[in-house]
Amino acid sequence: ENDGVAAMDSDKTVKMAGGTPGGADWGYPAPFTFYPRGPGYSRMSLLFDTLTWKDADGVIPALADGWTVSDDGKTWTFYLDRNARWHDNELFTADDVKFTIEYMQDHEGEFTWFEAINYINDVQVIDDYTVVIDLNAPMASFLVDIAGNVPILPEHIWCDVSDPRTFKDDDAVIGTGPLKLVDYDSAMSSYQYEANYDYYDGKLLVDEFISMEVGDAPAALKTGDVDEVSFWGSEIIAVQDFKDNHPEFTIVTGPSFWVLQVIFNCDADDTKGYPTNILEFRQAIAHGIDRDEIVSQVLNDGGIPANTGIMHPDSIWYNPDCAVYEYNPDTANDILDSLGFTEKNSEGIRQYPAGAERSGNVEFYLYTTGKFSREAGLIQTDLAAIGIGIYVSPSTWGPIDDRLKAGNFDMVISGHGGISNPQIMRIPSWPASTYQNSEYDSIFTAQEVEMDLDTRKELVDQLQEVVADDLPVYTLYHPYMWCVYNPEVLDTWFYTRDGIGIGIPLELNKLIFLARYGDANENGEISMQDVTKMERMILELDDESDMADANQDDEINMQDVTHIELIILGRAPIRIG
Amino acid sequence: MHQISKLAYYFVIVLIILSINFSLPRAMPGDALSYLTDPGADIPVRMTEEKREILLAYYGLDKPLSEQYITYMVGIIRGDLGWSIYYSAPVLEVILGRLKWTLILVGTSTAIYITLGILLGATSAWARGRKRDMGLLISIISISSFPSFFLGILLAIIFGIKLDIFPISGAQTAFATYSSPLEEIFDILHHLVLPAATLVLSHIGGTYFLMRNSMLGVLGEDYIMTARAKGLSERYILHKHALTNALLPIVTMTAMTVGFMIMGTIFVETVFAYPGIGNLLYNAVSYNDYPLLQGIFLFLTIAIVGANFIADMIYIRLDPRVNHE
Amino acid sequence: MIEGRKILGSIGLGILTIFVIVAVFAPYIAPHDPHQMYRPMEHPSSSHLLGTNDIGNDILSEIVYGTRVSLFIAFVVSVISMLVGTSLGLVAGYFDKVGFLIMRVVDVVLTIPRLPLIIVIASFIRPSIWNLIALFLIFGWTMPARIIRSEVLTLRRRYYIDATKMIGGSDFYILWRHILPNVIPLVVVQFIMEAIHVILAESGLCFLGLGDPVAMSWGMVFHYAFECPIIYVSDVWMWWMLPPGLCIVFTVLGLTFVGYALEETFNPKLKNPFGGMER
Amino acid sequence: MTLLRISDLKTQFPTPDGIVRAVDTIDLSIGERETLGLIGETGCGKTVLGLTLMRLLQSSTKTEGTIIYKGTNLLKISEAEMRRIRGEEIAMILQNPTTSLNPVMRVGGQIAEAIRLHQGLSKRDAKEKAIEMLDAVRIPSPSIRVNEYPHEFSGGMKQRVMIAMGLACNPSLIIADEPTKGLDVTIKSQIMKLLKEVTEERAMLIITHDLGVARELCDRIALMYAGELVEYATTGEIFEDPLHPYTRGFLGSLPSNGLVPIPGMSPSLINLPDGCRFHPRCGHATELCRRKHPDMIEIEDGHFVRCFHA
Amino acid sequence: MLEVLGLTKYFSSGLIRKRYLRAVDDVSFKIEKGKTLGLVGESGCGKTTIGRLILRLTKPTGGKVLFDGIDLFALNRRELLAIRPRIQMIFQDPDSSLNPRMKIGTSIAEPLKLHGTIPKAKRGQRIRELIETVGLNPEHVNRYPYQLSGGQNQRVVLARILAMNPDLIIADEPTSSLDVSVQAQILNLMKDLQKKFDHTYLFVSHDLDVVRIMADRIAVMYLGRLVEIGETGDIYDCAKHPYTQALLSAATVDGGKERIVLKGETSSPIDMPAGCRFHTRCPRKRERCTIEEPELVEVGRDHYVACHLV
Ligand SMILES: Nc1ncnc2c1ncn2[C@@H]1O[C@H](COP(=O)(O)OP(=O)(O)OP(=O)(O)O)[C@@H](O)[C@H]1O
Ligand SMILES: Nc1ncnc2c1ncn2[C@@H]1O[C@H](COP(=O)(O)OP(=O)(O)OP(=O)(O)O)[C@@H](O)[C@H]1O
Ligand SMILES: [Mg+2]
Ligand SMILES: [Mg+2]
């Protein structure tokens, strides 16, 4: 009964390094004012819940306890959590959901990661805790891209807000989330949250959470200034240092869902696309690039050579059978020879064949942001060996973006995240903007509306194969991420399956702050014991093996727990996947 | 009349710079929204053309340049610097948020380095050619040879990491609870020591050399000899006669370097993660945030022109000759 | 005093000579090809005196080659700035009307916040050496032009200028034969000032990540070192960050010493601190 | 009564090119209320002599001999005691009034500071005194002028201010270095008139190379050549009966005396000729003059000459 | 030879509200060939400006200068270049009349080189001649100006000027920074040269004694205007203008006469007093003087005075 007092006594604060120097400020964590980047979203998502959410294994219920979808895939019915309350103690109801979707429609584009116009037809409130969302067309990724992405706003606050991007009152951060905002300082790049002890979906493991800027993250972690720091790709050097010299810290590895790729100009118009619009030419380049060397030297083995079909190997969408281009300069040379690029100048650079669109040396600019100039340097060396001259031209993103949009380039090195979600492969917003293939487009459209997971996966597999074969881009590597933390402060850090929200690969998932009801033995972890203990407790079952795997995916995981919860609450959940 | 033409001159300068401020970011490749698709360490925003247009219209960036220019100028006159796209906040608010810390950092270190530079420069000139002068001269030349970021990192490693006596990041302990305002001030000062020391050390050379030279020039003047001939003490001569005259060029130089000083903190801010204007500019550049860029430039221009104006005023006070041409 | 000046001057010259030799003979001095990759993050050893960096380049060789880049940029910018600045300063000082115009341009350029503008432009243009050079040149000419102009203004009042006019010397002749030789000392001092400025500014830009990543200057080596996540928490900084940093420091130091010695020699005002009689 | 007696005074500057013997073995005395003129060509050491008396030369200077002022040897006393003497007992009016006034300090303040220091007057009284002094040197509306800055004064008026500053503490001896240099003829007349009044009450050493000034103001005149005195006598005797060839040459080269120049030029103070320093330019030079350095000899009562043939 | 008619020069200052400084105001005089006109007056009265105007180193505001009947102000660039060698000027300060970074020989050779009248091979010969003419040693050729004394430098200047074979030499206080003995040397040299080459001199000075010796005629200026002009003898013996009289009384070395000490200082040429410009200082000022500006009137043979009282 004096839980609160106990919590106060042992006030537990978790501090996290918020980002690189000069970059730990991600905006006021209200839904329309955070800076539209992953860390901004994740800081907002601590305050605002979505209908669904993801844990280490996939989609789980959040504000919606359960849901059904109509056979045509257009009508979704959500059964909402009856215990959820706003931070100001108002009740959360289906009206809030309807309001949110309509508000987003009224303010199209201002919540940058959600396009209401194209998808949503109508929202109806059935009763206080049931809401129906009608779509224009079936949407395979609905649970992730909309239900798991759009923060639900309290109607009683936002109904009067006309320009959400300027709305930064204290009220603007009132959500249903497990944490409440105490303070935010843009200049100091720091956020202070406190526990929402009344959270409807689990017990809080911490009393206070702080995200702050540090000068040097590893140093700050070692001195205890922060309790968690994350690293990326070549920063594995630091991870290694912790591994070797500081066993007191725990390290969790995660996929970044990020890929670095060479983008080719595939424009069929020779005046723009020649010679990179020749498939064999692109293949020769692919054979000519030593991706293993790039991974080992530039990334210090902090990643792996990429799937040529884009999707990340740790994602459920991964197609392991995509074409692979062995590093083999001889093959590359043979291809180029056969294409007629036979003559070489004194430096060994090939000449364009006579009568071709271009003449003279086969030389181009390789545009890239300064960050990837080292990869570009290695590619330069590799391609020189097969007689292709490269000038590396590093700059900031703006000019490159301009070039991509205008099709004014030969090759660009650029990367992007989100490769756990097939939607990223939409052309032309995906970097391969010059690539035109009607077959690809039709497969893409088909998978967008395919509600059957297996069929959709097949389609996505096909997409990947097309990309791997046609090489509008040649993928280089996927970096890994690491979260290094002090387990004595908080030991629940994990990487979200396919990333939080629409695929943000960060470790800052609000679930780390929660002991869900599933953690029956309160060891801070969801385990077999929890499930069985709970099941036995409630269902008074004896047979351990029977019910534990509630969703029968041969694994004990969070979904099982919530599944059971739902059974207990008397509402049968819909199977996911 | 002299003042009027001076004001007119400043006005023209400000106008030119404002126009440069306006046109420069727009002349640069990429637009204000390209940061949304920047391949960072997370997922890019999927940007369809419609969405792009909606956003451009939202920020008024779809209008013809001439109209944007007028809006910009009218805005400035009304004190409205626009809306920062990246920070999603009024530019003025964003700048003011950082200004406090920049002023604390720049203010304290400027005050220190100028005072110290003047004192050491005067000491050096007074002891010209003697051991003390040579010692000072060589140490200050050496310190001035360090790029400020290098100096900062060395200080951070030595005093922040190895000795662990000063914090190496931020301007204040994040969300610390203070028992008294004094404790808060102490905390702020504690965070200020290393960045301010870096700035002082890397800027002191300019003042020192100018003061030394200027002082040497003044000490060679006949009126110093006159003062000696009156039987005044060396100390009195140094203070009453030499210093005022030697300070004249310092005033001008300090004004001229104000802009440099404010921006020079960018290195120190980067090293010590200190929240200041320099860093803000860097972000504004990275995110192509036109309104913010413009705002920062405007602020800097005003600071520079203002400093020059103040310097002119001080100069008039210090040097009675300027009034008469 | 005179001794002090000479000693400092020679020390400065010595330092600069060493760096110039390193730059010129970089291929013979560097123990490895700076692009060759070995095992990353190696500590100093006999085969890699300063270890290797995060991608396995030999740090010492990078620094040796970096000397070329850093000195080249500083040299080219200073030379061109001096040429342009001196010519404009001469013209501006000698011809009143043109001078007025040039000086207004200089005023504006000098009032524009220099560093931020460089940062803004640098982040948008391709950061190649030549672009960096062009960028520094935008501002580089102004100070010399202004200083030289004010010197020309005083020189112009000397009687020998009038005397040369009387014997039929053209304006060009006067500028070339009589005014230019008298501003040369100033030009030399300004040249050194500009070189110092460029070395520091270039390394600063590199530090902010706005340098040319293809041409490894000292600043770029430093930048990559600073980016390394364990630079503070391990000893890596001692062989990766310190050496390029010290190279910058020593070059600047050398230039300053030489500049100081020259200034003391040239500036008659400083010669006789107790003067008032001799002048 | 002798106020100041200089004997065997030497001042040397060590320089990289050699030792500059700017003042070499000078013997002189100035009586109370006597006005002594020190005449010589540019660079012969006049100013240095003046500064040596005030002990205002930089520390690297070597000074030998004695300067007895009212019984104390100025070269032996401490710097603090010397400071008391400067301004209060002996005042010096420096060569160039334009550069010798602090440009950023009010004229009144510059006069008053010495008064405050030496006479311990309050700020107010010192200012009153300064106004009095300005009035004494005939500066119109002195109570307004005290508050002005030097650049608001003309050349002649600045020279008056310098004189006022010198007179401020009522010193017994004033050393005036070229008080009329650079002044227009008509202004020069005004200043000379003023100086004449000043010399009536106190001793004065007037350094000049203007013989007109010397003749009008001085009781006695000393001629200096290459760091040493060559002739020293009453004004009348110098003009009517000059004994030293240099004096004669100097007088003869005056425009009013027919513009007969002395051939050659003065020697460098680093490389002084052997023997008589004037011998290379002297028409009467003999072998003796070339070999031996002549001593100052008293030809008549109070008329000293440094020449073998006088 | 040289005829100056109504020569006027106003310097303007200020961008918005222009202010004029009347440096030279309606000055007319003549110099005959082989003669010397002395121009005297206080500092800032416009003497140098007249010289520079004649040489066209300064742009005139009005008036005419006829040189051998040629209107100098009407010449174009080319014609001017052709005639310039015939008119030369010696400046006040010999040290700044020579480029400090040029050897003496190079400086003297410069006019020869620029005009190419003498073939390169013979230049050395000519330079030696010139050097001898002005009384320097050939060894001086390889020295720099700072290694010579002021008097020697002024000789170099003369040699340089002689190289041009000028007809008219404007000497702007050529000895004002030199010692009397050196001054005598230079003035004598100038006189000799005039005899030898039949030069015409415009001799500017503030020293009446010097002018008396050098000039055939004397012009006295006050604040940009001529106040008196006449034969040297006439001016000295019967000066008519009160200003000239004051100058004369101040100049003479042998005291004797009572000085006329003018009160006050010269007015500023910007805020010129109405009427006679001298009335503010004139001991004999009348009502009329404050209203009406006097014209030059002939009072004797070739003797003109601008004063209401004559
Ligand atoms: N500080 C010094 N160091 C070396 N030499 C000096 C110094 N001060 C003066 N001299 C030399 O001493 C000599 C005498 O100088 P001083 O100023 O006394 O001459 P002066 O007779 O006053 O000449 P003037 O009439 O030009 O004022 C000069 O040759 C000068 O160069
Ligand atoms: N270039 C100029 N611009 C403005 N005013 C000038 C200029 N040259 C001369 N003056 C002014 O013209 C007036 C006459 O000057 P000028 O030099 O002719 O006098 P001066 O009689 O030669 O005096 P001094 O005896 O001092 O040489 C002075 O008041 C001077 O300030
Ligand atoms: Mg002197
Ligand atoms: Mg003159």
The residue among D139, D170, D201 that closes a domain is: D170
Number of domains in chain B: 2
Q: Which ligand is nearest to the CA of C272?
A: 1
Q: How many domains does chain D have?
A: 2
Pocket residue to mutate for ligand 1, from D38, D39, D46, most atoms within 8 A of Cβ:
D46
Q: Does residue C17 lie in a domain region?
A: no
Asked whether the predicted pLDDT for residue C86 surpasses 50, the reply is yes
The beta strands (E) that lie in E70-142 are given as 70-71, 87-90
DSSP assignment of D184-223: -HHHHHHHHHHHHHHHTTSEEEEEES-HHHHHHH-SEEEE
C227 located within any domain? no
User: Are D273 and D225 in a shared domain?
Assistant: yes
Average pLDDT, integer, range C193-221? 88
Nearest atom of ligand 1 to the alpha carbon of D51: 18
Chains B and D are touching, with contact defined as 3 or more CB–CB pairs separated by less than 8 Å: yes
d(CA D136, CA D139): 8
Are B76 and B134 part of one and the same domain? no
What backbone torsions phi and psi does residue C78 show, to the nearest 5 degrees? Answer: -65, -45
Q: Could you tell me which chains touch chain E, where touching means 3 or more CB pairs under 8 A?
A: B, C, D
* C209 touching chain A per CB within 8 A: yes
Whether residues D224 and D182 fall in one domain: yes
Separation CA B310–CA B302 (nearest Å): 12
Q: How much is the average pLDDT of E38-46?
A: 89
Q: Is the pLDDT of residue B166 over 50?
A: yes
CB contact (8 A) between residue A232 and residue B41: yes
Contact A46, A29 (CB under 8 A): yes
Q: Looking at residue B168, what is its pLDDT?
A: 84
Q: What's the CA gap between E248 and E253, in Å, rounded?
A: 10
Q: Does residue B192 share a domain with residue B169?
A: yes
Q: Name which residue leads in pLDDT, A537 or B218.
A: B218
Q: How far is CA E250 from CA A545, B13, C53, C174, E46, in A?
A: 131, 55, 87, 42, 21
Count Cα atoms within 13 angstroms, Cβ side, for C218: 31
Compute the distance between CA of residue D204 and CA of residue A285 in angstroms, rounded to an integer: 99
Radius of gyration of chain A (CA): 26
Q: Across residues C216-226, what is the average pLDDT?
A: 90
Question: pLDDT band at E170, cuts 50/70/90?
Answer: very high
Nearest-by-Cβ selection for C119 from B157, B217, B282: B282
Query: Any idea of the CA torsion for A436, A440, A445, A449, to the nearest 10 degrees?
Result: -160
In a domain, C111, yes or no: yes
- Do residues B117 and B201 both lie within one domain? yes
In this structure, the answer to whether residues B218 and B139 fall within a common structural domain is yes
Same domain, yes or no, for B39 and B100? no
> Which CATH class name applies to E2-305?
alpha beta
Among A91-105, E77-91, E214-228, whose mean pLDDT is lowest? E77-91
Q: Which residue minimizes the CA distance to atom 20 of ligand 1?
A: D43
- For residues B85 and E130, the model is more confident at E130
**For residue C245, is it within any domain?**
no
- Whether the per-residue pLDDT at C12 is higher than 60: the answer is yes
- How far apart CA B265 and CA B262 sit, in angstroms, is 6
Whether this model's pTM surpasses 0.80: yes
Determine the average pLDDT of the residues in B76-92: 83
Question: For the domain that residue D70 is a member of, what is the CATH number?
Answer: 3.40.50.300
- Which residues fall within 8 angstroms of residue A501, CB to CB, at 6 or more apart? A38, A41, A42, A45, A50, A113, A148, A149
Q: Are residues D142 and D191 in the same domain?
A: no
Distances (CA, A) of E136 to E162, E188, E207: 14, 15, 27
- Cβ atoms of C195 and C160 within 8 Å: the answer is no
Residue B291 pLDDT level (bands cut at 50, 70, 90): confident
Find the radius of gyration of the CA atoms of chain C. Answer: 22
Which protein residue has the closest C-alpha to ligand 1 atom 14? D45
**Predicted pLDDT at A573:** 41
For position B180, what pLDDT does the model report?
83
Range of the domain at D23: 2-89+172-305
What is the distance between the terminal CA atoms of chain A, rounded to a whole angstrom? 41
Of the pLDDT bands very low, low, confident and very high (cuts 50, 70, 90), residue E43 is: confident
DSSP A234: G
Q: Is E271 on the interface with B (CB under 8 A)?
A: no
A477 vs B286, more confident: A477
Q: Which structural domain range is residue C169 located in?
A: 76-183
pLDDT score at A577: 33
User: Do the bridges between strand A411-416 and strand A363-369 make them parallel or antiparallel, or are there none, so unpaired?
Assistant: parallel
Q: Has residue B1 been placed in a domain?
A: no
Q: Where residue E257 falls among pLDDT bands split at 50, 70, 90?
A: low
* pLDDT per residue as tens, chain D (310 positions): 789 999 999 999 988 788 899 998 899 999 988 999 999 888 889 999 999 999 988 888 899 999 999 989 999 999 899 998 998 899 999 888 888 999 889 999 999 998 888 888 898 999 999 999 899 888 888 888 999 899 888 888 899 899 999 888 889 999 999 998 888 888 888 888 889 888 888 999 999 988 888 888 999 999 999 999 999 999 999 988 999 999 999 888 888 887 888 888 888 888 888 899 999 998 888 999 999 999 999 988 889 999 998 7
Q: Given this model, what pLDDT does residue E17 score?
A: 66
A218 contacts chain C (CB < 8 A): yes
My answer on whether B134 and B250 are in the same domain is yes
Report whether pLDDT(C155) > 80: yes
**Cβ distance of B13 and C275 shorter than 8 Å:** no
Residue stretches of chain A with pLDDT short of 70: 1-10, 20-22, 116-117, 428-429, 516-577
E181/D250 touch (CB, cutoff 8 Å), yes or no: yes
Determine the structural domain holding residue B35 and report its residue range: 13-80
User: Residue C81 domain-assigned?
Assistant: yes
Q: Looking at the complex, does the CB of residue C164 fall below 8 Å from at least one CB of chain E?
A: yes
Q: How confident is the model at residue B257 (pLDDT cuts 50, 70, 90)?
A: confident
Is D296 found in the same domain as D209?
yes
Give the domain-ending residue among D152, D170, D188.
Answer: D170
Helix axes C114-124 and C129-140, enclosed angle (nearest 10): 150
Q: What is the pLDDT of residues C166-192, one digit of tens each?
A: 888 889 999 999 999 989 888 988 899
> How close does chain B come to A16, measured CA to CA in Å?
11
C160 and E CB contact within 8 Å: yes
> Which residue from C158, C162, C168 is facing E114, i.e. has the nearest CB?
C168
Of D259 and B224, more confident: B224
Same domain membership, residue D258 and residue D286 = yes
pLDDT at A280: 92
pLDDT in the model for residue D301: 86
Q: Whose CA is nearest to atom 5 of ligand 2?
A: E11
Assess whether chains E and B touch, using the rule of 3 or more C-beta pairs within 8 angstroms: yes
Residues D179 and D145 reside in one and the same domain: no
- Which run of H or of E encompasses B72? helix B65-77
Question: B14 or A322: which carries more pLDDT confidence?
Answer: A322
B73 with B128, same domain? Answer: no
Residues with CB under 6 A from ligand 1: C 274, 277-278; D 13, 15, 20, 22, 40, 42-48, 209, 269
C-alpha distances out from residue A157 to A39, A49, A91, Å? 25, 16, 12
Do B96 and B73 lie in one domain? The reply is no
Q: Rounded to the nearest 5°, which phi and psi values hold at B276?
A: -140, 180
Residue C126 lies in a domain: yes
| Final residue before a domain boundary, out of B80, B102, B125 | B80
Q: How many domains does chain C have?
A: 1
The model's confidence at residue B189, banded by pLDDT at 50, 70 and 90, is: very high
